[in-house]
Chain A
Amino acid sequence: MTALDLPYPPAVLADERQDLLSELRTVGMVWERELIRFARTRTRILSGFTQPILFLFVLGYGMTTLVGTTGGFDFKKFVFPGIVAMTVVSTAIFSAISIVWDREFGFLREMLVAPVSRAALVVGKTLGGASVATVQGTIMLVLAPLIGVHLTALLVVEVIATELLMAVALTTFGVFVASRIQKMEGFQVVMQLLLFPMLFLSGALFPLKGLPTWLAVITRINPLTYAVDPLRHVVFAVQHMPPAAAARFSTGVSLFGYTLPIGVELGIVCTFAVVFLSLAIAGFGRPE
């Protein structure tokens, strides 16, 4: 068949080029689907709150009696930003389970055979999961008055921005794991194994100052540490805190005796997000 060996006209090859606008539409559509599915599963929304609320009230009140109050500031208030972070992180990480789910129910195939880039699909998934996690974390703020944490409009905006970055980073991590694990159970086991150590060793539940060296080292290696601290920093900035309280319930992560500025911490989180996003895209639905 000589006809098959004719050179292709350049206009046909132009059809192969990426069209940025349509890639963005794909990102938007994948994102929208995640939100629609989230809004339709009320049980998932509610169950997303049970654990953080349990931690906030049981751990918060229990530890408050033990630790006591310093200058009107207590452990409940200290742990509150950590609990918000915990809500965001667990929702973000588990949102990626939808990929495993999609694989099991066939919808992943519908996406992978479409004439779109894997990057658009991964970015859409990530933004969808991150949005859901941010919404979930932000809803937790309604409990702030109960705990005695003071909120301002600017604070809420700053919290949402921080949550979003944290959520994107953790969702890319989840998507990365999901792209490599075929089975639902496998994903859940791996995530549970990772999630709790990461949370407990991130400073979400206790101050990072004065830890034994081995524990301090682990918390500094944990990337989540650099996401939790900015959130707490932002919340504490508008609380009335006497110096004694600020010293006791301190913020800031020190590395080799040097306290990192918030910008650096957020930079670390960004780097984490970019690295896992690239890994997730690379591992997402390789062709046969």
Chain B
Amino acid sequence: MTATPGALSPGELDTSKPLTAVPQRSLAIEVSALSKRYGEVQAVHSVSFSVERGEVFAFLGPNGAGKSTTIKMLCTLARPSAGRARVAGFDVVRQPKAVRRHIGLVFQDQTLDDQLTAEENLRFHAVLYRVPHDQVARRIDRVLRLVALEDRRRDLVGTFSGGMARRLEIARGMLHTPSVLFLDEPTVGLDPQTRALMWEDVLRMRREEGVTIFLTTHYMDEAEYADRIAIIDHGQIVALDTPDQLKHQVAADAVELVTADDVVAEQRLAAAGFQVRRDPERLVIFTANGEAQVARIVESAGVAVRNVHVHRPTLDDVFLHYTGRQIREGPAERSVAMPLRARMTRRR
């Protein structure tokens, strides 16, 4: 982990607390056979996974898949019906207070006080989360800088835009130097620009404070930021891997070619053993490792190539593969529906 000069190292804050007793495991979250039943409904069905320290881990799934229920159990806001979970080394059932003190939480809905300033909101949080008195001011400065809101610190939160408020909430979630930061659908209702900004904030926190990030989302492009993704459907994990591996397992890359003579190129490529499809105005070649194959493809085509795109399979394809359907869009009250493929295709 690299810290910028002058930055607090994670855990520096906690020297006065009996943290020395925390089991020093490399796992931030350990979940085994965790289940939650609400009456007849099995919201989460025997889910097991673990998250490494410093990892960005995403729960990807449609609404109602069990994402929020899982996050609630991990944050001690809901009691598991069966199974066990440890967060930051503490058992969620037996040590709920310790868990809460070592996690940061950012909910879907705003939980700031509009009538307080940014700084007052943070100070309130610092006291409730037992940030040592002499470190509160320094820590507030630090998290406000992390989300670039230091010049709005004395402004009432009521004057903030939705994006600023969300970033302030993330800053607040980081105030007490948590081991794990939980983000429940963190960018719902934000415009694409603010989302990108928010992600910069989150990744900077991971880099500079070494925090583990656990997020739930039903946006494909958001899951791309994660080191690993668990696809959850009907309360069960149906796939768990890195975004690249997931895509790899599902489908080949598609190389799109625009040439001077598509008919000739198609024949030659087919003769060279490529799987080719001719669309109007372009050729599509399906192959593993599309980017590495570009040179060979161009060479094999043997005619002037005007344009090349390499399309990697998207998480949409992955999701479709594992669940047999497209991910459902969010409910109607979520104002900004992100174009799902906006960040998906990498063009070159």
Question: Is this pair of chains taken from one and the same complex?
Answer: yes
Interface of A with B (CB < 8 Å)?
Answer: 1, 3-4, 8-9, 11-16, 19, 22, 25-26, 28-29, 33, 36-37, 40-41, 102, 105-107, 109-111, 113-116, 287-288
**Distance in Å from the Cβ of A45 to the closest Cβ of chain B?**
14
Instruction: Tell me, yes or no, whether B278 is within 8 Å of chain A by CB.
Output: no
Query: Chain B: interface residue count, which band?
Result: 35 or more
- Mark out the residues of chain B between 74 and 105 whose CB falls within 8 Å of any chain A CB in the assembled complex: 75, 77-79, 84, 86, 89-91, 94-95, 97-98, 100-101, 105
Most A Cβ at <10 Å: residue of B90, B110, B128: B128
Q: Residues of B contacting A1 with CB < 8 Å? A: 30, 32, 84
Binds A, one of B119-127, B228-236, B322-330: B119-127
Q: A33-B124, A106-B107, A110-B111 are in contact. Are A11 and B75 (CB under 8 A)?
A: no
Q: Is B115 engaged at the interface, CB distance under 8 Å to the other chain? A: yes
Cβ of A15 and Cβ of B95 under 8 Å apart?
yes
Given contacts A1-B30, A36-B120, A114 and B78 within 8 Å (CB-CB):
no
**Nearest CB on B from A82, distance (A):** 32
Interface residues of B in 212-258 (CB under 8 A from A): none
Chain B residues, CB < 8 A from A111: 128
Bound complex: CA A115 to CA B101 (Å): 6
Interchain CA distance A115-B130 in the complex, whole Å = 9
Closest 3 A/B residue pairs (Cβ): A11-B21, A114-B128, A29-B127
How far, in whole Å, are A258 and B89 apart by their CA atoms in the complex?
A: 64
Q: How far is the CA of A28 from the CA of B120 in the complex (A)?
A: 13
Q: Is the CB of B84 within 8 A of A36?
A: no
B207 within 8 A of A: no
The minimal Cβ–Cβ distance linking A30 to chain B, given in whole angstroms, is 8
Residue positions of B touching A, CB distance < 8 A = 17-18, 20-23, 30, 32, 72, 75, 77-79, 84, 86, 89-91, 94-95, 97-98, 100-101, 105, 107, 109-116, 120, 123-125, 127-130
| Cβ–Cβ contact B116 & A22, under 8 A | no
Q: A33-B116, A33-B124 are in contact. Are A4 and B84 (CB under 8 A)?
A: yes
Contact present for B95 and A13 (CB under 8 Å): yes
B128 and A109: CB pair below 8 A?
no
Subset of 23 A-B contacts with CB under 8 Å: A1-B32, A12-B22, A12-B95, A13-B95, A14-B18, A14-B21, A15-B18, A15-B90, A15-B95, A22-B130, A25-B127, A29-B127, A29-B128, A36-B116, A37-B115, A41-B115, A102-B113, A106-B110, A107-B113, A111-B128, A115-B97, A115-B128, A115-B130
Inter-chain contact B97/A15, CB cutoff 8 Å: yes
* A106–B97 touching, CB < 8 Å: no
Asked if residues A37 and B116 are in contact (CB atoms below 8 Å), the reply is yes
